[in-house]
Amino acid sequence: MSRIIVFGGHGRIALLLAPLLVARGDEVTAVIRNPAHADEVAATGATPVVADIENEDAGAVAELVSGHDAIVWSAGAGGGDARRTYAVDRDAAIRTMDAAEGTGVRRYVMVSWTGSRAEHGVDQENSFFAYADAKWQADAHLAGTGLDWTILGPGTLTFDEPTGRIQLDESGRAGVARADVAAVIAQTLVEPATIGRTIRFGNGIDGSPEPIEEALRD
């Protein structure tokens, strides 16, 4: 059994992830901002913890993550307000990484996006720029830590039924079902071959998607 803390615990992917982890015997802490979401999160088997990660200081974040075996960052500001996007997607995420190093939580899985790279190609005038820039800065910070990190870059998220199969995809053209992303996160947490890697993936376009377990060992 592992103790896993998921930031963004009421997100669509996190709500699919928690039951997968609980079913295999993991203990899941789901960090949420809105206390009204606590019952829905608890129904997944996770333990909801209310915290405003946008404004929590380093000490409070360290207290949140202490005692866990792994962190999953699946939180986000949701776009729109550039200031808040940087505050959550970059600054708050980095605080959790620093807290992980400070409290001895070795494993960290970042849920990013397929286009997260230094040359992401999003124009500064584009409303999406703040997200692309904030995510890249957070991902780069994580890759520079001493943590056992993995950065996951799913393609465009869909509400399709899960397939249990993915294709590694540097092009970013392949979409992917949210349920398959949740399954990828769950498998990543127990697959040592994913440590120290950025893994971009979708459900496949040109090639033959592999079962998730096999794809993550490639």
pLDDT at 77 over 90: no
Q: Can you tell me the distance from the alpha carbon of 45 to that of 43, in angstroms, rounded to the nearest whole number?
A: 5
pLDDT at 174: 87
Q: What letter represents residue 88's amino acid? A: V
Residue 86 is encoded by which pair of tokens? Answer: 């940087």
pLDDT at 216: 97
Q: Can you tell me the distance from the alpha carbon of 120 to that of 138, in angstroms, rounded to the nearest whole number?
A: 14
Q: Give the torsion through C-alpha atoms of 5, 165, 190, 16, to 10 deg.
A: 20
pLDDT at 173 over 90: no
pLDDT at 218 over 80: no
pLDDT at 80 over 80: no
For 200, which DSSP code? Answer: E
Q: Which residues of 50-70 are buried (b: 16+ CB within 10 A; e: fewer)?
A: ebebeebeeeebbebbeebbb
User: Could you list the residue range(s) of the whole structural domain that residue 119 is in?
Assistant: 3-217
CB 110 within 8 A of CB 93: yes
pLDDT at 112: 97
pLDDT at 169: 86
Residues β-bridged to residue 148: 107
* Each residue's pLDDT tens digit, 105-139: 999 999 999 989 888 878 888 888 999 999 999 99
* Each residue's pLDDT tens digit, 184-203: 999 999 999 999 999 999 99
pLDDT at 47 over 90: yes
Least Cα distance to 179 among 167, 165, 194 occurs for: 165
pLDDT at 204 over 80: yes
| DSSP letters spanning 126-176 | STTHHHHHHHHHHHHHHHTSSSEEEEEEE-SEE-PPP-SEEEE-TT----E
For the chain, how many structural domains are there in total?
1
Mean pLDDT of the chain: 95
Q: Can you tell me the distance from the alpha carbon of 138 to that of 16, in angstroms, rounded to the nearest whole number?
A: 24
CB 36 within 8 A of CB 44: no
* Each residue's pLDDT tens digit, 15-44: 999 999 999 999 999 999 999 999 999 999
Which CATH number fits the domain that encloses residue 160? 3.40.50.720
The band of 154, judged by pLDDT with boundaries at 50, 70 and 90, is very high
CA angle 125, 89, 97 (to 5 degrees): 140
The pTM (predicted TM-score) of the whole model is 0.95
The end-to-end CA distance of the chain, in Å, is 25
- The percent of residues above 70 in pLDDT, for the chain, comes to 99
pLDDT at 123: 80
Least Cα distance to 8 among 114, 89, 105, 70 occurs for: 89
